[in-house]
Amino acid sequence: MTAAYRPWAAELLHFWFDKLRPNEWFGRSAVLDGELRKRFGRELQALGQRPANDFLGNLQTARAAVLLFDQLPRNLFRDSPNAFACDPLARAICKESIARGWDSTLGKHERQFLYMPLMHSEAIADQLLSLRLYAALNDSFVLSFARAHYRMIARFGRFPHRSAALGRKSTSAEERAVAAGNAW
């Protein structure tokens, strides 16, 4: 049975968009992290090494896979390299979903999360695409985050707030940027 037919995708989308409130999407909560781990931790572990094409059979699976590989690791593995380990897979699914035009059928919140792997990317080309896509959402609050992420990559070529988790040495300018609040 392929990933496209597994129930985890519908369960994850329902939990994320119907059970959680928007303030829960981005806050730190040990309780929520535990619930995500209990509900979807096995799927993340089992599916994280699969190729992107395994998740592109339909829009529902692609959307859920982007959440599974972009958002969930950030909750389940906070402050560790594993928080970013599935980023390339999430980005590949995101980009192919956009190339297929699937994003045009989604509402604002669904598109916001489909595009998130681009905002999380340390590649300037992804950041530029992120800015264009988030600007099209016509949500100045969300766009402000895309712009802040872009500025860090344009300035440093990486996200300074990840340096400790990834074993990278920070410059004093990067440390000041993180102290100024550039740590999402």
Amino acid 181: pLDDT: 92
Model confidence over 34-66: pLDDT tens digits? 999 999 999 999 999 999 999 999 999 999 999
Closest-CA residue to 24 (of 16, 107, 116) = 16
> Among 98, 120, 142, where does a domain finish?
120
Give CA–CA dist 115/125, Å, rounded: 13
Amino acid 152: pLDDT: 98
Total domains in the chain come to: 2
Q: How much is the pTM?
A: 0.94
Same domain, 9 and 92: yes
Mean pLDDT calculated for residue range 16-43: 95
CATH number for the domain harbouring residue 96: 1.20.58.320
Among the residue ranges 85-89, 113-117, 179-183, the one predicted with the least confidence is: 179-183
Give CA–CA dist 113/105, Å, rounded: 14
Same domain, 100 and 177: no
* pLDDT of residue 126 exceeding 80: yes
* Angle (nearest 5°) at CA 132 between 123 and 68: 60
| Mean pLDDT value across the chain | 95
Residue with the larger pLDDT of the pair 49 and 27 = 49
Domain of 156 in residue numbering reads as: 122-184
* 100-108 contact pairs (CB < 8 A, 24+): 100/56, 102/59, 102/62, 103/133, 105/59, 106/59, 106/63, 108/137, 108/139
> Among 120, 147, 162, where does a domain finish?
120
Amino acid 5: pLDDT: 53
Confidence of residue 107 (pLDDT cuts 50, 70, 90): very high
